[in-house]
């Protein structure tokens, strides 16, 4: 039975820290904020909270002592969900749907087109991601369309774990359901949506056009975005969030990333080995159940050196560099982000997807998934990567790339090298 729950307004950083010290077991014993002290100064006394610490404290250590988790689980106010992290980094968290919906709505207002659409209380949304982890729902089965519609306004399209295994019938079913449901927006994993767009082209099917597409879940490479934009005319907006922290960032109509500041506090923590790039650390605000302070997202971002032309104030990022664990190491010793590799590869015609693996310190393998209908010129691509890496990668053409257990794809990885440890260490 659905439960209607009133959501409290977001609280300030100082109020969150005081609440955590007084009522959240994991933070008991820490110093309370002092009168007149800034939130940032009080926050600095808390250590970073990584996924290992989250696992040890979860669930009771992160729930306020004056709340009954057992009663909330029975009533449906909260539920246990698993994050979709890669490489064994999945963790369980508490999912509180009203909090997620409220902060996501504010996050959508950071882009002009999205703001226009979400102003309507009747907005309909389709979701195209892995069926294993879409919020707190799973759809790995042959379920009729009606059983994949949540709350009458959200349709989950995909029922296959690996998009490279979609049959023609699967692609056409999803296209038919898009036409029938006619959503205002489409939320998508960029890799899944790119495969869907390519298959639609193969089948000669023109899809229903939503008013905007927000891509999330994994890094949106240029080749994926180019493939999507060949088929879909709607603005494609990169949004950043996590099951742990909510909707944190969104690109605006000018392409820079803005912070959803009413619902979290963010810190850009410098790491010496990364120069002017920073580790993104998030303290969610207003979540009545899952209380996280200084959560280490493991993602690297780069602040914008200039204000954004859209005029929005607050934290502005030039770009998201990707997950720290997905960096590789050039022969010079420089640590290279997914974004830097992506810039080197670009979006050449004839390329569907790629993966760069660092096998040894000076040996790289580049796997390319070509589009057989277009000629792929590999020479300039490998020359650009050689300039970046310091050595030319071994190139392999493959039919498809393997999907991770999380349902995501990792565009870069370094084998036998703990790049995250390198980045967090001093030179």
Contacts (Cβ under 8 Å, ≥6 apart) of 68: none
Cα 33 to Cα 293: distance, rounded to the nearest angstrom: 14
Give the pLDDT of residue 5: 41
CB 105, CB 33: distance < 8 Å: no
Average pLDDT taken over every residue of the chain: 92
Cα 177 to Cα 343: distance, rounded to the nearest angstrom: 35
More confident of the two residues 112 and 81: 112
Residue 267: pLDDT above 50?
A: yes
What does the pLDDT look like over 367-402, one tens digit per residue? 999 998 889 999 999 999 999 999 999 999 999 999
**140 in helix, strand or coil?**
coil
Residue 98: pLDDT above 60?
A: yes
Segment 165-173 shows an average pLDDT of 97
Segment 8-20 shows an average pLDDT of 85
**409 in helix, strand or coil?**
coil
CB 393, CB 365: distance < 8 Å: yes
Contacts (Cβ under 8 Å, ≥6 apart) of 183: 124, 125, 126, 155, 208, 210
Residue 91: pLDDT above 90?
A: no
Contacts (Cβ under 8 Å, ≥6 apart) of 131: 138, 139, 140, 156, 158, 159, 160, 161, 407
Q: Which domains does the chain have, with CATH numbers?
A: 97-323 (3.40.50.12780), 327-424 (3.30.300.30)
Segment 103-116 shows an average pLDDT of 95
For residue 188, the surrounding DSSP H or E stretch is strand 185-188
Cα 49 to Cα 96: distance, rounded to the nearest angstrom: 20
Q: How far is CA 155 from the centre of its chain?
A: 20
Give the pLDDT of residue 143: 86
CB 258, CB 312: distance < 8 Å: yes
CB 298, CB 420: distance < 8 Å: yes
Give the pLDDT of residue 1: 32
341 closest CA partner among 353, 355, 324, 331? 355
Torsions phi, psi of 355, nearest 5? -150, 130
Segment 179-205 shows an average pLDDT of 97
Q: With left for phi above 0 and alpha for psi between -120 and 50, is residue 308 left, alpha or beta?
A: beta
**183 in helix, strand or coil?**
coil
Q: For residue 135, is the peptide bond before it cis, meaning its omega torsion is within 30 degrees of 0?
A: no
DSSP, residue by residue, 55-71: HHHTTGGGS-TTS-HHH
Percent of all residues in the chain with a pLDDT value above 90, rounded to a whole number: 83
Cα 292 to Cα 48: distance, rounded to the nearest angstrom: 10
What does the pLDDT look like over 401-412, one tens digit per residue? 999 888 899 999
Residue 8: pLDDT above 70?
A: no
More confident of the two residues 191 and 122: 191
| Lowest model confidence (mean pLDDT) among 72-86, 98-112, 176-190 | 72-86
What does the pLDDT look like over 332-354, one tens digit per residue? 999 999 999 999 999 999 999 99
CB 281, CB 270: distance < 8 Å: no
């Amino acid at each position: 039975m659905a439960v209607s729950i009133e959501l409290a307004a977001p609280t300030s950083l100082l109020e969150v820290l005081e609440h955590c010290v007084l009522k959240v077991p994991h933070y008991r014993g820490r110093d309370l904020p002092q009168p007149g002290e800034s939130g940032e100064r009080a926050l600095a006394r808390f250590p970073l909270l990584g996924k290992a610490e989250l696992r040890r404290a979860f669930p009771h250590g992160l729930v306020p002592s004056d709340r009954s988790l057992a009663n909330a689980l029975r009533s449906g106010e909260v539920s246990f969900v698993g994050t979709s992290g890669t490489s064994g980094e999945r963790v369980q968290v508490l999912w509180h749907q009203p909090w997620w919906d409220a902060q996501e709505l504010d996050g959508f207002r950071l882009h002009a087109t999205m703001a226009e659409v979400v102003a309507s209380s009747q907005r309909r949304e389709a979701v195209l991601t892995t069926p294993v982890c879409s919020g707190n729902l799973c759809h790995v089965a042959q379920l009729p369309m009606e059983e994949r519609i949540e709350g009458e306004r959200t349709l989950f399209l995909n029922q296959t774990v690996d998009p490279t295994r979609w049959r023609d019938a699967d692609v056409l079913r999803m296209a038919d359901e898009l036409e029938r449901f006619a959503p205002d927006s489409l939320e998508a994993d960029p890799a899944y949506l790119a495969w869907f767009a390519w298959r639609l082209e193969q089948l000669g099917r023109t899809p229903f056009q939503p008013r905007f597409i927000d891509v999330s879940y994994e890094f949106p490479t240029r080749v994926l975005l180019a493939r999507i934009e060949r088929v879909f005319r709607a603005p494609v907006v990169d949004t950043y969030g996590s099951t742990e922290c909510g909707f944190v960032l969104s690109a605006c109509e000018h392409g820079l990333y803005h912070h959803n500041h009413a619902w979290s506090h963010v810190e850009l923590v410098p790491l010496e080995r990364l120069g002017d790039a920073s580790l993104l650390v998030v303290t969610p605000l207003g979540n009545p159940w899952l209380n996280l302070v200084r959560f280490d997202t493991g993602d690297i971002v780069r602040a914008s050196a200039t204000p954004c032309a859209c005029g929005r104030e607050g934290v502005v990022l030039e770009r998201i560099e990707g997950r720290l664990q997905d960096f590789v190491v050039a022969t010079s010793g420089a640590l290279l982000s997914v974004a830097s590799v992506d810039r080197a590869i670009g979006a050449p015609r004839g390329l569907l997807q790629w993966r760069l693996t660092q096998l040894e310190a000076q040996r790289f393998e580049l796997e390319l998934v070509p589009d057989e209908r277009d000629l792929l010129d590999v020479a300039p691509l490998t020359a650009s990567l050689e300039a970046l890496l310091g050595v030319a990668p071994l190139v392999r053409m493959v039919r498809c790339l393997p999907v991770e257990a999380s349902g995501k794809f990792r565009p870069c990885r370094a084998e036998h090298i703990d790049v995250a440890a390198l980045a967090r260490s001093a030179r």
